[in-house]
Amino acid sequence: MIRIDKPAWDIMVEHARACYPRECCGAMLGKEADGVRTVHAARPMRNAFEGAQEDTYVLDPQEQLAVEKEARAQGLSVVGIFHSHPDCDAYFSKRDLENSCPWYSFVVLSVKNGEFDHANSFLPNFDQTEAPKEPLEY
Amino acid sequence: MPKILIPTPLRQFAGGSDAVEAAGATIGECLEALTAQHPDLRRNLYNDEGKLRSFVNIYLNDEDIRYLSKTGTAVKDSDTISIVPSIAGGR
């Protein structure tokens, strides 16, 4: 399961609202113990997709390297990635699955009419064929 | 020896290390040395056919090896190798 501290959650929601109607993305920094990931900090990131961002996001690898360094410096790990789905539900799409990575929790935030609606977290497998939901607390 | 930075979620498979020195003349040799030292990393980096998984991007210093000579890219002792997952998606 994944638990997100309120200050981190507030940053994630605000980033999703600010990017609306485009998809936002970012990293969640925290710790993992006994199968529970706890997010202590959220780091908004640039959507590096160069086309229409209403339905696509791409993380910038150089920024990923920078976020890894930040996490190390704070004694934290990158435990998850978040992105938003403007005006649709927080499901894990085929494209989300095909471009995922099993090392992280993937939190999807649904933003409807510019306001946060609901969220879910997913755990993709190694072969990028399945991503079961995991319990999410925020 | 070249240094390989271990992404935070993979440290648990590398004895807790955030960086591992791995001998080799190429990126491929260094990654082989890394997974020989830490076999639990292998499943995270390679698929059943022994190829790097599609979501695994490797950087030599700040350059993506796909734009160099891929795993045949030559490395020097002073180089830093980073493992960066490729992540994207959309509704």
Across the strands, what pairs with A105?
A80
Residue A136: which H helix or E strand, with range? Answer: strand A136-137
pLDDT for the residue A97: 97
Most B-contacting residue of A28, A56, A92, A101 (CB-CB within 10 A), to test interface: A101
pLDDT for the residue A40: 98
Q: Mean pLDDT across the stretch B63-89? A: 96
Mean pLDDT score of chain A: 96
Q: Mean pLDDT across the stretch A93-97? A: 97
Domain presence at residue B75: yes
ipTM over 0.90: yes
pLDDT greater than 90 at residue A101? yes
Express each pLDDT in A30-80 by its tens digit.
999 999 999 999 999 999 999 999 999 999 999 999 999 899 899 999 999
- The verdict on a CB contact (< 8 Å) between A95 and B9 is no
| Distance between CA atoms of residues A118 and A105, nearest Å | 16
pLDDT for the residue A131: 98
pLDDT for the residue B62: 87
Domain presence at residue B69: yes
Q: Are A123 and A131 in contact (CB under 8 A)?
A: yes
Task: Tell me the residues of chain A between 67 and 106 that have a Cβ less than 8 Å away from chain B.
Answer: 68, 71-72, 76-79, 81, 83, 85-86, 88, 91, 93, 95-104
Residue type, A74: Q
Q: Are A69 and A109 in contact (CB under 8 A)?
A: no
Domain presence at residue B91: no
Joined together, the tokens standing for residue B40 give 């639990």
pLDDT greater than 90 at residue B8? no
What percentage of chain A reaches a pLDDT higher than 70?
100
Q: Mean pLDDT across the stretch A20-39? A: 97
pLDDT for the residue A117: 98
| Distance between CA atoms of residues A105 and A122, nearest Å | 6
| Distance between CA atoms of residues B12 and A20, nearest Å | 36
Domain presence at residue B90: no
Number of independent structural domains in chain A: 1
- The CA-atom distances, in angstroms, between A82 and each of A100, A105, A114 are 11, 8, 17
> What CATH number corresponds to the domain at position A59?
3.40.140.10
Is the pTM above the cut of 0.80?
yes
| Distance between CA atoms of residues B62 and B67, nearest Å | 11
**Domain span holding position B37:** 3-85
pLDDT greater than 90 at residue B75? yes
Which residue among B5, B18, B87 sits closest to A101, beta carbon to beta carbon?
A: B87
User: Of B58, B78, B79, whose CA–CA distance to B67 is shortest?
Assistant: B58
**Domain span holding position A51:** 2-137
Which residue among B8, B64, B87 sits closest to A68, beta carbon to beta carbon?
A: B8
Number of independent structural domains in chain B: 1
> What CATH number corresponds to the domain at position B26?
3.10.20.30
